[in-house]
C-alpha cells in the first residue's frame, strides 16, 4: 500500500517535469516541508533548507535525539531519515540501531502529505533480517537501507589539559534511506 502511495505521488508529479532539464521526471520544487506545521510539545524545528534538487529539515526531539529528513527527486524519488542522539556512536551494533529506529520513527510528527513514509520504513525494519551493516531492507521496487555513519561535526576542543581523559567515541548517525527509480 505504501509503495502504491509513493507511485501515485510520482504519477501525480510526472507532468510537472523540469522545463530546463528534460531528463528530470519530477521537478524538485514540488517537495514541501515534511514535518507537521503544528508540532507536539517538546519537538522543535531547527531548520528547513531548500536546495535546487532537495529539501532538508532538522528537528530536535524530546529525549535528546535529532532527526534530519532529506527529500530529493529528479529521476529517482529519494528520502533519508538521519537520527543521532544518546547512545548512538560509530560502534553501535545493528540490533541496537533497529531498536532505536523502531522507538523513534513512530514519534516523528510528519505532515499528512509528506513524501517520507515512516510507516513503510518501520514495516521494512520489522521484516528485515539484519546480519551485517549497512543492511538492505525489503521495500518492494525501491531500495531501502539501514546504515550507521560518523557525524560530520567535530566535537569542541576540551579546555582541560589533562591527558588521562580518553577521547569520546565519535557520534554515530543512524541513516534510513529510500530510493525509488522513476
pLDDT value, residue 5: 45
pLDDT value, residue 19: 41
User: What does pTM read for this prediction?
Assistant: 0.79
User: Does the pLDDT of residue 112 top 80, yes or no?
Assistant: yes
Binned at pLDDT 50, 70 and 90, residue 13 comes out as very low
pLDDT value, residue 160: 55
Domains of the chain, by residue range, sit at 2-152+169-181
The per-residue b/e assignment along 157-177, b for 16 or more CB within 10 angstroms, e otherwise, is: eeeeeeeeeeeeeebbbbbbb
User: Does the pLDDT of residue 167 top 80, yes or no?
Assistant: no
Binned at pLDDT 50, 70 and 90, residue 158 comes out as low
Is the distance from CB of 172 to CB of 34 less than 8 angstroms?
Answer: no
Cβ neighbours of residue 155 under 8 Å, at least 6 residues apart? 168, 171
Q: Terminal CA-to-CA distance of the chain, rounded, Å?
A: 17
Q: Largest Cα–Cα distance in the chain?
A: 62
User: Does the pLDDT of residue 153 top 90, yes or no?
Assistant: no
Amino acid at each position: 500500500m505504501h509503495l502504491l502511495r509513493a507511485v501515485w505521488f510520482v504519477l501525480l508529479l510526472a507532468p510537472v517535469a523540469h522545463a530546463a532539464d528534460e531528463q528530470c521526471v519530477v521537478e524538485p520544487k514540488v517537495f514541501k516541508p515534511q514535518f507537521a506545521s503544528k508540532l507536539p510539545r517538546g519537538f522543535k524545528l531547527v531548520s528547513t533548507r531548500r536546495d535546487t534538487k532537495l529539501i532538508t529539515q532538522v528537528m530536535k526531539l524530546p529525549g535528546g535525539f535529532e532527526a534530519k529528513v532529506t527529500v530529493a527527486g529528479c529521476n529517482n524519488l529519494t528520502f533519508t531519515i538521519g537520527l543521532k542522539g544518546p547512545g548512538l556512536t560509530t560502534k553501535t551494533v545493528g540490533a541496537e540501531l533497529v531498536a532505536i529506529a523502531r522507538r523513534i520513527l513512530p514519534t516523528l510528527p510528519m505532515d499528512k502529505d509528506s513524501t517520507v513514509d515512516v510507516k513503510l520504513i518501520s514495516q521494512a525494519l520489522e521484516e528485515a533480517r539484519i546480519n551485517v551493516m549497512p543492511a538492505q531492507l525489503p521495500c518492494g521496487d525501491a531500495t531501502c537501507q539501514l546504515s550507521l555513519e560518523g557525524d560530520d561535526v567535530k566535537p569542541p576542543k576540551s579546555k582541560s589539559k589533562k591527558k588521562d581523559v580518553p577521547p569520546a567515541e565519535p557520534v554515530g548517525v543512524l541513516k534510513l534511506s529510500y530510493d525509488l527509480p522513476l
